[in-house]
Structure 1
Amino acid sequence: MRAITVAPGVVGSLRLDEAWPEPHPEEGAILVEALAVGICGTDHEIIAGEYGEVPPGTDQLVLGHESLGRVLEDPTGTLHPGDLVAGIVRRPDPVPCANCAVDEWDMCRNGRYTEHGIKALPGFARDRWRVAPKFAIGLVPALANVGVLLEPTSVVAKAWDHIDRIGQRAEWKPQTVLVAGAGPIGLLAALLATQRGLTVHVLDRAETGPKPTLVAALGATYHTSRVDELDFEPDIIVECTGAPSVVLEAMCKAAPVGIVCLTGVSSGGRTVDFDAGALNRAMVLENNVVFGSVNANRRHWELAAEALGQADPAWLDSLITRRVPVEAYAEAYHPGQDDIKVVLEFAR
Structure 2
Amino acid sequence: MTGTRRGTKRRLVREVALWIGAVLGVLSIVATVAALAFDVKPLVFRSGSMSPAIESGALALAREVPATQVEKGDVVSVIGADGVRVTHRVVAVGQVGGSVSLALQGDANATPDAEAYTVGSVDRVLWDVPHVGRVVAAAGSPIGTFVCGALVMLCLYLAFAPTRPRTQAGRRPAGRRRGTDARAVMAVLGGALLALPLAQPQGTLAYFTDSAPMSTGSISSHRVVSQAQPTCANVNGLLVLGNVARLSWTQVDAKYEYFWELRRTSDSVAVGSGEVGQGQALGSVVELNIGTGLIGVNANYDVVVRARLSSTNAWVAAATTTTPVRRDSILFIGAAFRCGHG
Q: Same fold (TM over 0.5)?
A: no
Higher-strand-fraction structure: 2
Q: TM-score, normalised by structure 2?
A: 0.23
- Which structure would you say has the larger Rg? 2
Higher-helix-fraction structure: 1
Q: TM-score, normalised by structure 1?
A: 0.22
